[in-house]
Amino acid sequence: MKTDKFMPFIETRMEVLGIDIGGSGIKGGIVDIDTGKLVGERHRIPTPRPSTPEAVAAVIKEIKDHFNWKDDIGCTFPSVVVEGKAKFSSNLDPAWKGIQIDDLFSNTCDDERFFVVNDADAAGVAEMRFGVGRHHKAGLVFMITVGTGLGCGAFYDGQLLPNFELGRMYGHNGELIEFYAADSARKKEDLSFDEWGPRFNFFLKHIERIFTPDHIIIGGGVSKKIHKFRKHITIETPFSVSEKLNNAGIIGAAVNAAEHHK
């Protein structure tokens, strides 16, 4: 829906396409930014291998064309993002480091404007606005997304502190902690949830000791299986499971695009 030039954007534009780039899949959906709900079904395409900028950009265009979308687009990226640029490649192809993501996607997608945000930050925005996070606005709240990596959206008194990469801390045996405790490690090593649960708890206890958060929200695809590993979580910090689950990144990306539209 195009914006009426005589009306404020937030009052006239109700729907935005959000796209969430993950290490294993890229998914998109049209979001009602007032309710935080998807309009229709989301569309998912496996992340290409290798996940080069050009290959990922082609998938982004495929999702845009799937929805026949011809307006601004919100998009997540699974690493530090500063003014639309990838500062690191993280779990994608090394060629991503230093790429101006918004320009690349815009040039690939018929010059539609892209608003890019860290994936866990986007998930946190969705959860803090529309999910369980709306009940936990005070103090320090971490939204932990568990997937290919361990993403973190950090909020203090409801305000986003961007690009908290807690999964990139060093932990067990001097390796990056997400290589030990992310859901991808569980799958790669063919671990049961009883074997993997203590690893994830190790990560949570690590951030609890360092940051003393007031609340933790657990999200990402594996969060819908919390019943299989909840008994292994022994932190003292109160925690909740994401209400938006694996759609949080799509929703947060769309909200970010709406709020930064000018």
Per-10-residue mean pLDDT, the chain, length 262: 38 82 94 95 96 97 97 95 93 94 96 95 96 94 94 96 92 88 96 98 96 96 94 97 90 94 62
HSE value, Cβ hemisphere, 13 Å, CA-based, for 225: 13
Cis status, amide bond into 53, omega within 30 of 0: no
| pLDDT at residue 7, as a whole number | 34
| pLDDT at residue 4, as a whole number | 39
| pLDDT at residue 244, as a whole number | 86
- pTM of model > 0.75: yes
Structural domains of the chain, ranges and CATH numbers in brackets: 9-121+248-260 (3.30.420.40), 135-242 (3.30.420.40)
Count other Cβ atoms within 10 Å, centred on residue 78: 28
| pLDDT at residue 262, as a whole number | 57
| pLDDT at residue 1, as a whole number | 39
| pLDDT at residue 172, as a whole number | 75
Alpha carbon distances (Å) from 64 to 28, 98, 227, 235, 246: 8, 24, 35, 41, 19
| pLDDT at residue 90, as a whole number | 83
Contacts for 9 with CB less than 8 Å, ≥ 6 apart: 3, 258, 261, 262
Task: Measure the CA–CA gap between 9 and 22, rounded to whole angstroms.
Answer: 29
